[in-house]
Copies of this chain bind each other. A is one copy, B any other.
Amino acid sequence: MPRARARAKTKARAGEAGDAKEKYREMSVAEFFAKNKELAGFANPTRALYQTVRELVENALDATDTHGILPEILVEIRERPDLATGESRASKYTVTVEDNGIGVPATEIANAFGKVLYSSKYVIRQTRGMYGLGVKAAVLYGQATTGQPVEVVSAPMGSPYVYMKKLYIDMKRNEPVILEEAQWRRRGRWHGTRVSITLQGDWSRARSRIVEYIQRTAVIAPYATITLITPDGVVYHYPRTTRKMPRPPREAKPHPHGVDVEQLKMIIMNTKAETLKDMLVMEFQSVGEKTAADFLREAGFDASMNPKKLLEKGNGKRLAALADKLRAYPRFRAPRSDYLSPIGEDLIRIGLRRMFSPEWVGAVTRSPRAYEGHPFIVEAGIAYGGAIKPRDEPLLLRYANKIPLLYEEREDVAWKVVSRINWKLYGVDFPAPLVVLVHIASTKVPYKGVGKESISEVPEIESEIRAAVQEVARGLRVYLSRKRREAEVKRRIVTIAKYIPEVARSLAILAKPPEKWSPPKPGEERPIVESLVRIVARNIEIPPVDGERSDPEQVVRSVIENVKVE
């Protein structure tokens, strides 16, 4: 191969740039996210305030509905003039979020809030939190901008005590440092967690996003009671409108289609199974005895082999081959989706009705699908007309695992799909009063960044979103075309019916012998009007509205009463 090198000619001019030695060092993951705040969504005081509210609310919801508890969540943002230095338009705020969830065990509080990458979210389950990062990023931002610690009060469910800790994160070591702690016997029945983070923020710029975030959370979780108290003293209160809750998600085992060499190694290291076959059945979902045996035979592995042997030196290629074959085998059952927790068509309709008072609403929960071994369910809802203001494009509400996503809309797979749908085919002409909701539930949502704002273009997810939105849109088309036909029929009824009184009057006169022709007495033409109404009503068809058929004679009669002939 023609490797063009001219090393001898290249003069090292390293001296000019100073030293040719680099200084290497390790950085803790806490320091990493503290130095690169924008990666976790803390790019500036506006985003930081929004992101802090989000992370705390999402933890609060994960601590409640994920465990079957109807959520009661209080969010309070208070300005802290006592911390102000008057140096910047961004002030200091304390964000407090309180929930009625399961609480954090006393022994876990310090790490759960004071150690980056320490979390209860590292299992295969559909939760809002995924990275075990968000709240700690907020704590880091808070201490970097105000020097204030996070304060956590937790009453774990079933515990007779309430615990309080104030702590900050030692950035160099990624360890919590406790400044103050206390515990007391619980009075009353409250269980849950209250977290306060003090940070630099810009409320005037973050206000609209935070309010929108809370509203959209209320749309998707109408079974939650959420209260937001703003620094302006305004209270946004969303009481629950239903006690119906989606079934909670459950923890799952990994699916063989999602496993890579490293995960397989980990599974083999930790398994108690003594044969490869038992390991497949015990450690994976969707693998039965027979499937395991069939797979191993076809893949050329001995079913009775001790899996630990694959970890021995020299077996690297065998291990890699096993992982490859597990990913590719077509006859494992699909990933379990009954462990997922979609919102459900009813709750989507309830949420959309409550927030938008539309004239029409539709929703669909699609059947489960999977990508790379991760199950997912797409849901879509559409609200149309009523109190919705017409816009030049659909108002898109994006959700992932019941979290509203507000930023980076144009980069999201849902926007890509919704903006490319030819809405004319569904009877929608823009500007139109159209709201589209898309929800993706999965044990692994493929976010583009740890800030969790937009979702990658995974082909399987993209096509499910398209199918879901189109399915609901077809319902909208039926409604809109019926509405148009109704308007058409009404126009026709008006055209015909408006002459009925006049015709009836003439007939009432003509029906008498000529010598008695004279203006009819009041009520004299009534029987003639009635028979004309019956004739017209027999000859028109009035489409049903919301499944109910109207009485055609009533319709004609009301037109006659309300229409004046010009």
Binding site for B on A (CB under 8 A): 1-8, 10-18, 20-29, 32, 34, 36, 38-39, 43, 66-70, 72, 74, 76, 83, 85, 87-88, 100, 102, 105, 108, 111-112, 115, 117-120, 122-123, 131-132, 140, 143-148, 157-158, 171-172, 188-191, 225, 227, 229, 235, 237, 239, 245, 247-248, 250-251, 260-263, 266, 316-317, 319-321, 323-325, 327-328, 408, 410-411, 446-450, 456
Distance in Å: Cβ of A270 to nearest Cβ of chain B: 11
Contacts of A408 in B (CB 8 A): 411
Q: Is the CB of B157 within 8 A of A20?
A: yes
A–B Cβ pairs within 8 angstroms, 13 of them: A10-B72, A12-B69, A13-B245, A23-B123, A24-B119, A27-B117, A27-B118, A27-B119, A27-B122, A85-B321, A88-B328, A410-B411, A448-B449
Q: Is the CB of B320 within 8 A of A72?
A: no
Contacts of A108 in B (CB 8 A): 24
Known: A10-B70, A449-B449. A261 touches B145 (CB 8 A): yes
Q: Is the CB of A87 within 8 A of B325?
A: yes
Distance in Å: Cβ of A261 to nearest Cβ of chain B: 5
Q: Is the CB of B120 within 8 A of A68?
A: no
Contacts of A88 in B (CB 8 A): 324, 327-328
Copy count, this protein chain: 2
Contacts of A24 in B (CB 8 A): 105, 108, 111-112, 118-120
Distance in Å: Cβ of A398 to nearest Cβ of chain B: 16
Contacts of A13 in B (CB 8 A): 67-70, 245
Q: Is the CB of A29 within 8 A of B32?
A: yes
Question: Which of B6, B11, B15, B26 touches A115 (beta carbons < 8 Å)?
Answer: B26
- Bound together, the chains give a CA A204 to CA B28 distance in angstroms of 38
Q: Is the CB of B83 within 8 A of A320?
A: yes
- Bound together, the chains give a CA A122 to CA B11 distance in angstroms of 27
Q: Is the CB of B17 within 8 A of A67?
A: yes
Distance in Å: Cβ of A381 to nearest Cβ of chain B: 25
Distance in Å: Cβ of A151 to nearest Cβ of chain B: 14
Q: Is the CB of A119 within 8 A of B3?
A: no
Known: A189-B7, A324-B87. A171 touches B20 (CB 8 A): no
Known: A11-B70, A20-B102, A317-B83. A117 touches B28 (CB 8 A): yes
Residue of B nearest to A17 (CB): B248
* Cβ-closest 9 pairs across A and B: A22-B120, A13-B68, A147-B320, A87-B328, A17-B248, A144-B260, A85-B324, A144-B262, A17-B68
Contacts of A132 in B (CB 8 A): 27
Q: Is the CB of A325 within 8 A of B7?
A: no
Residue of B nearest to A233 (CB): B1
Question: Which of B120, B235, B410 touches A23 (beta carbons < 8 Å)?
Answer: B120
- Bound together, the chains give a CA A327 to CA B171 distance in angstroms of 21
Distance in Å: Cβ of A68 to nearest Cβ of chain B: 4
Question: Which of B12, B146, B171, B235 touches A1 (beta carbons < 8 Å)?
Answer: B235
Q: Is the CB of B38 within 8 A of A446?
A: yes
Question: Which of B15, B69, B320, B448 touches A38 (beta carbons < 8 Å)?
Answer: B448
Contacts of A18 in B (CB 8 A): 250-251
Contacts of A172 in B (CB 8 A): 266
Question: Which of B74, B189, B316 touches A147 (beta carbons < 8 Å)?
Answer: B316
Distance in Å: Cβ of A176 to nearest Cβ of chain B: 12
Contacts of A119 in B (CB 8 A): 24-25, 27
Known: A24-B118, A119-B27. A143 touches B5 (CB 8 A): no
- Bound together, the chains give a CA A14 to CA B38 distance in angstroms of 36
Distance in Å: Cβ of A224 to nearest Cβ of chain B: 10
- Bound together, the chains give a CA A3 to CA B18 distance in angstroms of 63
Contacts of A324 in B (CB 8 A): 85, 87-88
